[in-house]
Amino acid sequence: MPNEIQDPLNHKFPPEIVSHIFALCLPRVPQLRDHRMIQDSEKWAAPLFLGAICRKWRHIAWSTPRLWTTVVVRISSRTAKQLRGSLPQLVNKWLGRTGVLPLTIQFSAARLRKQEEGYDEVKSLACLIIGILNRHSERWQDLALDINLDTYAQKFHGSAELSNLRCLSINGAFGGLDLPLFLTEICPTYLKLSSYFSFTEFNVSWENITHIILQYTNIPTCIDVAEKAHRLQGF
Find all residues with CB under 8 Å of 223, minimum gap 6, and list them. Answer: none
pLDDT recorded at residue 184: 73
| Residue 121 backbone class (left: φ over 0; alpha: ψ -120 to 50; beta: rest) | alpha
Q: pLDDT tens across 182-225, in order?
A: 767 788 889 888 776 666 667 788 888 998 888 777 788 788 88
Burial class (CB in 10 A: 0-12, 13-18, 19+), 160: middle
Yes or no: say if 167 and 190 are a contact pair by the CB < 8 Å rule. yes
Q: pLDDT tens across 17-44, in order?
A: 888 888 888 877 666 655 555 555 556 7
| Residue 37 backbone class (left: φ over 0; alpha: ψ -120 to 50; beta: rest) | beta
Would you kindly state where each structural domain of the chain is located, as residue ranges?
A: 68-228
Q: 3-state DSSP call for residue 51?
A: helix
Residue that wins the pLDDT comparison between 173 and 115: 115
